[in-house]
Amino acid sequence: MVTTKKKINLEELPDLLTVREVAELLRVSPLTIKRWGKRGKLPAIRINSRGDRRYKKEAILWLLGMQPKTS
């Protein structure tokens, strides 16, 4: 079985990412992303009445060491 790697273009990422998008980007479990949020390592923005999590692209890039944290 041959798998092809997708190249991720950081410029094309949306400003707010879902738990699943962040997990795929960082190659960790979605549960890990939620745990990091609870510990303050990766703060989430809660949206809508269900409280869905979204993560700022800048926070992800900062976590990867690719950009200084601005806010």
User: Is position 58 within any domain?
Assistant: yes
Distant-in-sequence, close-in-space partners of 19: CB < 8 Å, separation ≥ 6: 30, 33, 34, 53, 55
Q: In terms of C-beta density within 10 A (0-12 exposed, 13-18 middle, 19 or more buried), how is residue 22 classed?
A: buried
User: Is position 17 within any domain?
Assistant: yes
pLDDT at 64: 87
Summarised one tens digit per residue, pLDDT across range 46-69 is 999 999 999 999 999 988 888 766
- Domain ranges, residue 50: 13-63
User: Is position 59 within any domain?
Assistant: yes
User: Which among 48, 45, 44, 47 has a CA at the least distance from the CA of 35?
Assistant: 44
Number of domains observed in the structure of the chain: 1
Summarised one tens digit per residue, pLDDT across range 18-37 is 999 999 999 999 999 999 99
pLDDT at 11: 77
pLDDT band at 10; cut points 50, 70, 90 = confident
What pairs with residue 16 in β-bridges? 56
User: Is position 2 within any domain?
Assistant: no
Tell me which residue has tokens 């989430």: 44
